Structure 1
Amino acid sequence: MGRMSMEVPVGETGELPEYAERVLDVADGIPSGRVMTYGDVAEWLGDGGPRQVGRVMALYGGTAPWWRVVRSDGTLLPGHELRALDHYREEGTPLRERGPAAEGHLPRIDMRRARWDGTHT
C-alpha cells in the first residue's frame, strides 16, 4: 500500500515516486535507537546518493521515522533539533554531549555506537 503525503503533491495517481517509497521503506526498517546516514541509505539501495535521500526525507519523511536518517557527522537536523532529541532520548539512541545543556549546547549522535549497518539489531 503506497504512502500518502498531505503536504507535497505526488503523482497523478496519488502514489509516491518509486525511489521515495524505497527510501522510506529503509527508514521504516531502522531499529529504534539506531540510525543510518543519508549515504548509508543510498548505498543500501544501490541507487542515488546522500542528496537524493535527503531530498526524499525532506519532501516525504514525515510519514517515516525521519530522525533515524541523519547526517554522517551526527549533528541534529537543523530546525528539528529538539523534536529529534526527544525521539533519541525516548529510544535510547547513543548521544555525545557537547557541553552544558544550560549553555544551549546540543548533543550529537554517537555515530560509532548508533550507526546501523542494516544487517543486525
Structure 2
Amino acid sequence: MLERVREIVASIPPGKVATYGDIAAMAGASTPRLIGRILAEDGHDIPWYRVLRANGTPAPHIARRQLELLRTEGVLADRDKINLRTYRWHPNV
C-alpha cells in the first residue's frame, strides 16, 4: 500500500492537486486518513503538498507551507482554499 500511494502522489503533475480521498480510491486504501498518515510518515521526498482535503483546503498545521509550494506551481488559493474544479488532477487510471 505504501509504495502504491507514493507512486500515485509522485505522478500528480505540477500545477495539479488531488484529494486524500482521490488517492485512497486509486490506491485501494480503506480510508483517506490512511493517505494522510502515509504522507506524514513517508512522503517528504514526493510532492505531498499536491494532496488536499476534500474541500480543497490544506491541513491547518501545514497550510502556509503547502499553499506556498502550490503557488510556485501556479496553483492559486482563494482564502486558503484551492478550487478543485480548476486544479484537480484527472489521471487516466
Q: Same fold (TM over 0.5)?
A: yes
Higher mean displacement: 108-117 or 44-53: 44-53
**Alignment RMSD (CA, Å):** 1.6
Gaps of 5+ in 2: none
Match of 2:40 in 1: 58
Tell which structure's C-alpha radius of gyration is larger.
1
Deviation string 1:7-45 (CA, Å, 9 cap, x unpaired) is xxxxxxxxxxxx111101101000001111111111112
Match of 2:64 in 1: 82
Match of 1:31 in 2: 13
Cα shift at 1:47:
3.3
Cα shift at 1:79:
1.6
* 8 Å Cα contact 1:33/1:92 also seen in 2: yes
Matched, 1:113 2:86: yes
Cα shift at 1:88:
1.1
| 4+ long deviations beyond 6 Å | none
* 8 Å Cα contact 1:33/1:94 also seen in 2: no
Q: Distance in 1 between matches of 2:48 and 2:9?
A: 7
Identity of aligned residues (%): 40
Kindly tell me the number of residue pairs found equivalent between the two proteins: 93
Cα shift at 1:54:
1.4
Cα shift at 1:111:
1.0
Gaps of 5+ in 1: 1-18, 99-106
Cα shift at 1:69:
1.2
Relative contact order higher in (CA < 8 Å, ≥ 6 apart): 2
- Higher helix proportion, which one? 2
State the one-letter code of the partner of 1:113: T
Match of 2:27 in 1: 45
Match of 2:50 among 65, 68, 71: 68
